[in-house]
Amino acid sequence: MMTKLREIRLQVVTFLSKFEAYLVPAGKFITAMVVFCIINAKFGYMKSITKFPLVVILALFCSFMPMSMIIIIGALLTLAHAYAIGIEFAIVLAVVYVVMFLLFFRFSPKDSFAVILTPICFMLKIPYVIPMSFGLVGSASSSVSVACGTIVFYVLSYMTKAAKAFEENGETDLLTRLRALLEGVIKYKEMIVCAAAFALIVIVVYLVRRMSINYAWTIAMITGALTGILTILVGDILYKTDISIVGLIFGTILACGVVKVIQFLVFDVDYSRAEKVQFEDDDYYYYVKAVPKITAGNIRDNADSSDAPKRAKPKKSPKVFAKKEMSDEERREKAQAAARERRKAEATEEKKAEIPEEEVKVQRSTTPQKRTQNRQKMIDVDKEFSKERAAYEARQAEIARRREAARAKERLRVNLSDDEPTRVVPEVSAEEDSELAMSQRMAYQRRKLEERLNRNDE
């Protein structure tokens, strides 16, 4: 059974992550619709803003805005309804909202959902789910958000009762009504007790579930439930509140069931395979407790007792101690290896610095296909160089033959006392020098090309 539930959970998580871009705005729209419809139904004194098209437009606007926008628009709607009752109601509610927003945006601006859900859960008769849930999945600052949501619900409820009382008594004096409202809100003992109890539940559950103990979340649930019951009972004895004790007990039990479902969704671990690891480095000692999650990859291997009641309990893994003291010789070897790596890195940097920037760019862009092309170019250059070398050697042989012929002719001219000078030898020497210069340039260009290709290959 639990294995099947975990598989369903995996499918749901996969679906949510796949369509998150569409589901988040849709969730905000539905939440805003529910909040605004409840406000108009329970506190709808201004009929002009209770029309359904206006509610839909406001909900669509909130679907593309942060969650705090739902709180702001909800506060404006309740202020409009309070103003429809009387200006003194709007003044008192505005003061409460200013104090609440100063606390909320100062301590827990990211817990907008807590402020929204708390009044809704109060109307659904399951208010104790909120403090225990946000104690597990939130932080200590979530206590401020939960307390603010509780205050909003009780203030709106008190104003509804006060409006009926003023109408029955026929009270019309503005200052008298304002003073009565302020005193009623400040001395509303049930609101104070519930807000303090819910904030305390959040803090206690948060502190316990962060402890490094087995089954910390379950212990946190039980501790939070007992804390809430005891706090509200003490407040009821001290301030004579009208909180139902039977509703408190059954509501707490229901809250534990809901929170257990939340634990299965976000914190499903196997404490039977928990391990404690101890290790150290040069600066610290580390003591780590590792608890494996029960995920889709190990569902079959980690079936719990509900799936296999007769399965033998797995043995706990032995403690792993990775602490090891290094000897002096090992420290020296480690230092020498570090020095060698440092010298190697410095040599590499110097070598990179000697390479021109253009060649570095060529090296970075070199790929195996590029290296193959470079090799082919090298082979083609060798072929061309071989042809030119053969032509150069043939030319040198021709120059040597012509030089020998010119010398023989010069000797013949000297012997015959020829009056006309022969310029063959200087011409041959100049042609030989030109050929030699061309050969040197070819060799230099080939050497530079070969060096560049070798660098690319490296």
Handedness of CA 29, 31, 34, 37 (dihedral sign): negative
Looking at residue 198, its pLDDT comes to: 92
Instruction: Count the Cβ atoms, other than its own, within 10 Å of residue 238.
Output: 10
Pairing of strands 275-280, 285-290: antiparallel
Looking at residue 223, its pLDDT comes to: 93
Residue 363, CA distances (Å) to 182, 371, 374, 453, 458 in order: 79, 10, 12, 9, 8
Looking at residue 227, its pLDDT comes to: 92
290 φ, ψ (degrees, to nearest 5): -110, 125
Looking at residue 298, its pLDDT comes to: 56
Q: State whether residue 242 is helix, strand or coil.
A: coil
**What residue has token string 């807590």?**
114
Looking at residue 417, its pLDDT comes to: 54
Strand order in the sheet with 275-280: 285-290, 275-280, 320-321
Are 142 and 108 in contact by the 8 Å Cβ rule? The answer is yes
The closest of 160, 141, 155 to 99, measured between CA atoms, is 155
Distance separating alpha carbons of residues 111 and 63, to the nearest angstrom: 17
User: What pTM was estimated for this model as a whole?
Assistant: 0.61
For 100, the token pair is 């609440």
Per-residue pLDDT of the chain (458 residues; tens, 9 = 90+): 778 888 888 888 888 888 888 898 999 999 899 989 988 888 878 888 888 889 999 999 988 888 888 888 988 998 898 888 888 888 888 888 888 888 776 777 777 778 888 888 888 888 889 999 998 888 888 888 888 888 888 888 888 888 888 877 776 777 888 888 888 888 888 888 999 999 999 999 999 988 888 888 899 999 999 999 999 999 888 888 778 888 888 888 998 898 888 888 888 888 888 888 887 877 888 888 888 888 755 555 444 444 444 444 444 444 444 444 555 566 667 777 777 777 777 766 665 555 555 444 444 444 556 666 666 776 776 676 677 777 777 777 777 788 788 777 777 776 665 454 444 444 455 555 555 666 666 666 677 677 766 665 55
